[in-house]
């Protein structure tokens, strides 16, 4: 890879992917619409770590708008597209399903159509473990994922299906990555890790949906970013264009939400006051990744355990407390 497009480059995962690509000497065109889905200060903080670096160019544009994207493809020849832009979050997708379909499905379709028109043959598509609802754990990529519980999961399924169509019709090589509960420094403020750290630190009661026994396969953002980049490279000297679904997850014993909160309490030296709320019908009780395929195809497995990752996440929050503590949730 010489030049790539990374969509959602001010986002949590995409900004880390962009950094690692730049570290390897790959030119990155970063694209983001800088929407207000959550506090823009977080997005600008991530973007600031990329701007000014050699090989990075930023374009403010929206993947939902085909006409904004066309000049980006006309002016560049991309070796790969990392489509990491998305409206994320299960619960919020119930409140506004239309924006999720526009961004996650229509946006992905716009990119694939332009890839076809401009001869770009490699797509890395971010997807989600939320698709595995109701399936036996650990989740394998060959399980049927036909019953999404939320508009968010449905929109990701739509993008996956569209990517197969473009692979079949035009020979685009597609790597679909199903991420499992990503956390780390500068994480999304609408996700539990950031919220729990903030609330426990400032003494605000934290809201837990369900009884806290639900488990998640937490995966550190740098491990996710590394696996994402590996998925962008040809696999084997004679590999033909394919359509692969690959789990990127912790791959170890998932942890309950209450135990996760306990680890944050230990690091902050404060106890959480918990407000209990009913669990949403859109939420999964448990997640656990089978990463056998990622090990075999990408030679990838996570390197950063939960304790080390939480140390870094809490440390980042405290180091940036002056503004991060004021981030709107």
Residues serving a catalytic function are 152
Residue 225 near residue 219, CB atoms below 8 Å? no
DSSP state of 239: P
Residue 174 near residue 163, CB atoms below 8 Å? yes
Residue 182 near residue 13, CB atoms below 8 Å? yes
Closest by CA to 146, choosing from 155, 159, 160, 157, is 157
Closest by CA to 124, choosing from 152, 158, 159, is 159
Q: Residue 123 pairs with which residues in a beta bridge?
A: 81, 174
CA distance 82 to 84: 6
Residue 205 near residue 274, CB atoms below 8 Å? yes
DSSP 98-162: HHHIIIIIIHHHHHHHHHHHHT--EEEEEEEGGGGTTSPSSB-TTS-----SSHHHHHHHHHHHH
Closest by CA to 82, choosing from 145, 20, 18, is 18
Q: How far is CA 215 from CA 117, 153, 187, 252, in A?
A: 43, 18, 19, 12
Residue 166 near residue 118, CB atoms below 8 Å? no
């Amino acid at each position: 890879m010489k030049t790539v497009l990374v969509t959602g480059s001010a986002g949590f995962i995409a900004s880390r992917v962009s950094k690692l690509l730049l570290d390897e000497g790959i030119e990155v065109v970063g694209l983001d619409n800088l929407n207000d889905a959550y506090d823009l200060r977080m997005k600008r903080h991530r973007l600031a770590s990329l701007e000014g670096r050699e090989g990075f160019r930023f374009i403010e544009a929206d993947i939902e708008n085909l006409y904004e994207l066309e000049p980006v493809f006309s002016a560049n020849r991309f070796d790969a597209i990392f489509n990491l832009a998305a409206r994320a979050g299960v619960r919020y997708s119930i409140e506004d399903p239309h924006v999720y379909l526009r961004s996650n499905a229509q946006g992905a379709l716009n990119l694939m159509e332009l890839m076809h028109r401009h001869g770009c043959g490699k797509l890395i598509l971010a997807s989600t473990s939320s698709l595995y609802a109701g399936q036996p754990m650990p989740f394998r990529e060959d399980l049927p994922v036909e019953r999404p519980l939320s508009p968010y999961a449905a929109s990701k399924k739509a993008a996956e299906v569209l990517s197969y169509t473009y692979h079949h019709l035009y020979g685009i090589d597609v790597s679909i990555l199903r991420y499992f509960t990503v956390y780390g420094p500068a994480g999304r403020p609408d996700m539990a890790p950031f919220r729990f750290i903030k609330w426990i630190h400032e003494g605000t009661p934290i809201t837990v949906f369900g009884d806290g026994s639900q488990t998640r396969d937490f995966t550190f953002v740098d491990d996710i970013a590394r696996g994402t980049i590996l998925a962008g490279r040809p696999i084997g000297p004679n590999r033909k264009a394919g359509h692969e679904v690959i789990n990127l997850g912790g791959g170890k014993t998932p942890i309950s939400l209450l135990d996760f909160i306990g680890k944050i309490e230990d690091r902050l030296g404060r106890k959480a006051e918990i407000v209990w709320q009913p669990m949403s019908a859109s939420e999964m009780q448990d997640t656990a990744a089978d990463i056998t395929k990622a090990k075999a195809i990408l030679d990838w497995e996570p390197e950063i355990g939960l304790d080390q990752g939480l140390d870094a996440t809490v440390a980042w929050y405290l180091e940036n407390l002056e503004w991060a503590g004021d981030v709107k949730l």
